Amino acid sequence: MRSLLEAYGSLADWPAFAASWETLEPDLYLANVGLHRRRRHAVFSAGHAGAITREAHQPHYQSRDYNTLQGGIERWFEPVLPEVADSQTLQTVLGFCQALFGELSPEVGQWQVEVHQFRIEARADEPGQPTPEGVHRDGVDYVLVLMVDRHNIASGTTTIHDAEARTLGSFTLRRPFDAALVDDRRVYHGVTPVQAEDTSAPSHRDVLVVTFRRM
């Protein structure tokens, strides 16, 4: 995956990009139901080719058709920091997605792009929930899930399902740059809970999620 990304730009600042997960803020919407997640969010716009532009900060919204746990409300998260949004690594990732998803859907002239930084924390007394809404679709066209870091974590297996909830396959993102590319219109996906391997030490699962939705 790293070599595929590097065809679209530099990853020279990856260490600083990965370190930015230490700046994520608690997801207060999930805290209301006793779950632990940290995140930041940003929205971009992209054409079939050319510049990818960051848009004004805005809420993340999913209907209850796609998110039965937290759908139907505007969720305001802390914004992705400017130095992360402008980083070589994120611009390279976005360029890769623009090219790949544009090739898959050449009829699309304009995309709404959402970027999510997620940190899932497993506690000594309870697992972390990467997808607390369960097996789901995101309500977009395409999704990239890119592993940034796993520390003191077991499980976290990605599962892919058809419209009748039959499992089509499963795999675990374990190393930086391991990735899942999802056609959200065709399949459902989920991630199993993560457990701390050593319950006396901190543990986390850090991923970057990028979604493309036709405008």
Report the amino acid identity of residue 148.
Answer: V
Sort residue 10 into left (φ over 0), alpha (ψ -120 to 50) or beta: beta
Q: Find, among 116, 114, 92, the residue nearest to 13 by Cα.
A: 92
Q: What is the pLDDT of residues 121-172, one digit of tens each?
A: 988 888 888 777 789 899 999 999 999 999 999 999 999 999 998 999 999 9
Strands (E), 96-166: 110-121, 142-151, 153-155, 157-161
pLDDT at 34: 46
Contact 85, 121 (CB under 8 A): no
Contact 212, 138 (CB under 8 A): no
- Non-local (6+) Cβ contacts of 31 within 8 A are none
CATH superfamily to which 2-214 belongs: q2cbj1_9rhob like domain (2.60.120.620)
The DSSP symbol for 64 reads T
Domain locations in the chain as residue ranges: 2-214
Contact 93, 208 (CB under 8 A): yes
Distance CA 123, CA 67 (A): 24
Distance CA 83, CA 88 (A): 10
Q: What is the pLDDT of residues 97-128, one digit of tens each?
A: 999 999 999 999 999 999 999 999 988 888 88
Q: Find, among 129, 144, 159, the residue nearest to 4 by Cα.
A: 144
Q: Is 178 or 61 the better-scoring residue by pLDDT?
A: 178
Q: Phi and psi at residue 68, in whole multiples of 5°?
A: -75, -20
Q: What percent of the chain is modeled with pLDDT above 90?
A: 76
